[in-house]
Structure 1
Amino acid sequence: MIILEFKAYGKKHQYLAIEEAIRTVKFVRNSCLRLWIDNRGISKYDLNKYCRVLAKDFDFASELNSTARQAAAERAWSSIARFYDNCNKKVSGKKGFPRFQKHCRSVEYKQSGWKLSPDKKSITFTDKKGIGKLKLKGTWDLWRFDKKQIKRARIVKRADGYYVQFCVSVDVKEQLKPADATVGLDVGLKDFYTDSRGKTEPNPRFYRTGEKRLKFYQRRVSRKKKGSTNRKKAINRLARHHLSISRRREEHAKRLARCVVRSNDLVAYEDLRVKNLVKNHCLAKSINDAGWYQFRKWLEHFGQKFGRVTVAVNPAYTSQNCSDCGEVVKKSLSTRTHICQCGCQLGRDHNAAINILNRALGTVGHTGTWVIDPNPCGELTSTLPDSGLVEQVGSLKQESPRL
């Protein structure tokens, strides 16, 4: 399953119709959530039936395609199911009780309510919202796929315009020749990562480099009168710069992950809980700017696509243990060189990368994504609730058109 994204072009009245459709989706989703709060124990199918009741009671809801209303109800049920799942797993802290949505940025259609042109360079939405025909611009070859393979179409609003996404059911696996190489990766703030061969990848720090410009746009927002048109324009300009930074960070992580996976048969990395790491307010900005989560997400995706082994290793003591003799050499974060009594002298991150690879080599022969816990028995522990390691990343479906 892959997601193809195109920039959508239309007229002003069409954009207003898209905004109205998005507001209707938010209304249906929040109404379904209110029904669940007032009547605990109802199922997913009860929410789908409630969409028909909303269409009868409200004219603006009936104008939206029925499958789009069902997709909105599914959004409500996904938040409910996630809450129940967290309660059953006894996740510590807040369980994520479903909340009413304040901002909505997309409307999703299933296999009805839209029609592609014969050349597949435009799409027409046929419901009563009046969106009409939108031109599509992108680098994907949509004509290669049959319409039956397109399971859903989604309109997404972003700061720089509107986009149309197609969910296509297609096998994305590729077969590569064995690379006869394995690698361990230790991510950091000074360097983006250091591998077990001692090679480093510089950290681009996209947010830090664009922070000066962000402050400039933020000052322009604060100087405008609240509720004015000029303030909305200034907010849009600020949001577009944020979007540019996030896109560059995502593309950087994507390209590095693809290169690493293609050139190695086994890739080992740390099973970091970024959500917990950013609680350190001194390092939170730098950690978020590094994009470790995006990098791991793409590593696992390309590992599945190219049939490579990706292994998530418990990071405990990878920096303290000696990669040569295994002796514990305690060091602070400011100590960047590992020096052991056995004569081993390496960079701190290089030593950690070797330890990560050594812990992961026990999974040779297994394919897919594994999480390794260095217990005394040396057993493999997958990401099950009882394993002590909670799975952090789901499978990814979207790729860059230039990959």
Structure 2
Amino acid sequence: MKKGNVYRVYPDKEQRTLLEQHFGAARFVYNHSLSLENLMYNRFRTNITEIDLNNHLVSLKETFPWLKDINSQSLQQANRNLLIGFKNFFNGNGSYPTTKKKKDNNFSFQVPQNYQINLTSSHIYLPKIGWMKIIIHRDFLSKEFIENNLVLKEVNGELILDQKLNREFKVLKTLTVSRTSAGRYHVSILIEDNEPYPEPVSFTEETTVGIDVGIKSFAVLSTGKVIDNPKFLKKSLKKLIKLQRSVSRKPKGSKNRRKAVAKLAKQHQLVANQRNDFQHQVSATIISENQAVAMEDLNVKGMIRNHCLAQSISDVGWSEFIRKLMYKAEWYGKTILRIGRFDASSKLCNVCGYNNKELTLDIREWKCPSCKTLHDRDRNASINIKKIALSNLNTHGTWERAYGLTDKSQGNEVGSLWF
């Protein structure tokens, strides 16, 4: 089972310069390789392999000597990331790779090998950069696992976990270094603990919950539980506007403008951290309390085009919340069921099945003309989402068959997906 843990690091002034050089070099190599791929395909209808791109790095370093100061494996990983992007695009799992731009906050590079972690003094070593202070607030591996399965070296009485010495065990995977817009540096350590993913546990109608995500309420469950929308962005909007005005008043290129930009980025970082922490808590609770979760397949990109709702939809963060639910369900052997985005969940009476085609978005409660049941719009939708998901399984396949669904073609056939 693969898991990634993110930790904050504190480089000194010289190391920050080196990190920025690595960010820029990885972005430069990615864009250069992308232009080569596009050129070769448009003119000769041929693709360049990863080996060819890596061999081209030799001549590229002669043209741009500053690339020699960068960890070579990080540059090779940039080429690999590009080809993975192409593979995902042709498999229908992503968009076509585009040029990375500095203004889009693309500050990251990867270190596949040869990093070290000082478990005694909490420092991390990166090739070409050196030792940096790291805050390990959460164990990426248990002490027992490290002692029993990995090789530690002792230097001046300090225990160091060297990725190079443990390469044969294939536990310490790729390390990713990144920087936020607020100037905070992080490393993400990918770990393979060689434990298989748990088998999906069986679920029934009683152990399945339907979720209807929204703006007024963050989520409404079919059990009747309502999770309020904290609206972190809206609460900080006045402060953000004030900070943005402060940036606009400062002359471009001045020190005061850089200070104002830093304050603005720090506030945006605070909002993002609040939203991320909230989503982690909610997703962990839902996954731990239920064996299966039913959700709608929302077209978030299309919904954001509505300028009246774009800010509120971005603030609530549906896509990231669903992503958290998916990988946590995979960790604990739970099941995610998805229904189509065009299924009538809100307009359908969950008691008699009457379809209220006149229901508009501003109506939050409605009374069924057929059975006279008074419905809360979101609660009714969550119950229907659960019913539709379970109905699709019973109609198109067995419960056991649902566990094996892994791709879109199967998902369309059955009407639900297991992740």
Deviations, residues 97-153 of structure 1 (Å, cap 9, x unaligned)? 5325345301211113x33335371122233xxx22101113122463544311112
Quick check: 1:345 aligned with 2:374? Answer: yes
Deviations, residues 332-361 of structure 1 (Å, cap 9, x unaligned)? 112222311213222111111111111122
Instruction: Provide the C-alpha distance between the structure 2 equivalents of 1:309 and 1:386, rounded to a whole number of angstroms.
Output: 13
Counterpart residue type for residue 383 of structure 1: K
Q: Which residue of 2 aligns with 1:325?
A: 352
Deviation at 1:391, TM superposition (A): 11
Q: Which residue of 2 aligns with 1:153?
A: 175
SS class of match (2:408): coil
Classify 1:48/1:389 alpha carbon distance in 2 versus 1 (closer, same or farther; 3 Å): farther
Instruction: Provide the C-alpha distance between the structure 1 equivalents of 2:402 and 2:122, rounded to a whole number of angstroms.
Output: 39
State percent identity of aligned pairs: 28
Q: Which residue of 1 aligns with 2:299?
A: 273
* Matched pairs, number: 374
Q: Which residue of 2 aligns with 1:137?
A: 135
Quick check: 1:383 aligned with 2:408? Answer: yes
Q: What is the 5 A alignment of 1:3-402? A: 3-40=4-41, 41=46, 42-85=48-91, 96=96, 98-103=98-103, 104-112=106-114, 114-117=115-118, 119=120, 121-127=122-128, 131-142=129-140, 144=142, 145=146, 146=150, 147=163, 148=166, 149-158=171-180, 159-170=182-193, 171=195, 173=197, 181-315=207-341, 316-330=343-357, 331-340=359-368, 341-362=370-391, 363=393, 364-365=399-400, 383-384=408-409, 387=412
Classify 1:99/1:189 alpha carbon distance in 2 versus 1 (closer, same or farther; 3 Å): same
Deviations, residues 183-219 of structure 1 (Å, cap 9, x unaligned)? 1111111111111122211111111011011001101
Contact 1:310/1:368 (8 A) holds in 2? no
Contact 2:6/2:189 (8 A) holds in 1? yes
Instruction: Provide the C-alpha distance between the structure 2 equivalents of 1:385 and 1:238, rounded to a whole number of angstroms.
Output: 46
Instruction: Provide the C-alpha distance between the structure 2 equivalents of 1:358 and 1:320, rounded to a whole number of angstroms.
Output: 14
Instruction: Provide the C-alpha distance between the structure 2 equivalents of 1:173 and 1:250, rounded to a whole number of angstroms.
Output: 25
Q: Which residue of 2 aligns with 1:378?
A: none
**Greater CA drift, 275-284 or 57-66:** 57-66
Q: How large is the Cα RMSD of the aligned pairs?
A: 3.0
Unaligned runs of 5+ in 1: 372-381, 396-403
**Greater CA drift, 284-293 or 169-178:** 169-178
Deviation at 1:174, TM superposition (A): 6.3
Moved over 6 A (4+): 174-179, 388-392
Instruction: Provide the C-alpha distance between the structure 2 equivalents of 1:348 and 1:208, rounded to a whole number of angstroms.
Output: 24
Instruction: Provide the C-alpha distance between the structure 2 equivalents of 1:221 and 1:390, rounded to a whole number of angstroms.
Output: 50
Instruction: Provide the C-alpha distance between the structure 2 equivalents of 1:320 and 1:203, rounded to a whole number of angstroms.
Output: 23
Deviation at 1:241, TM superposition (A): 1.0
Contact 1:172/1:305 (8 A) holds in 2? no
Instruction: Provide the C-alpha distance between the structure 1 equivalents of 2:335 and 2:401, rounded to a whole number of angstroms.
Output: 7
Deviation at 1:70, TM superposition (A): 0.5
Instruction: Provide the C-alpha distance between the structure 2 equivalents of 1:310 and 1:388, rounded to a whole number of angstroms.
Output: 16
Counterpart residue type for residue 236 of structure 1: A
Unaligned runs of 5+ in 2: 151-162, 394-398
Instruction: Tell me the TM-score normalised to structure 2 length.
Output: 0.81
Counterpart residue type for residue 327 of structure 1: Y
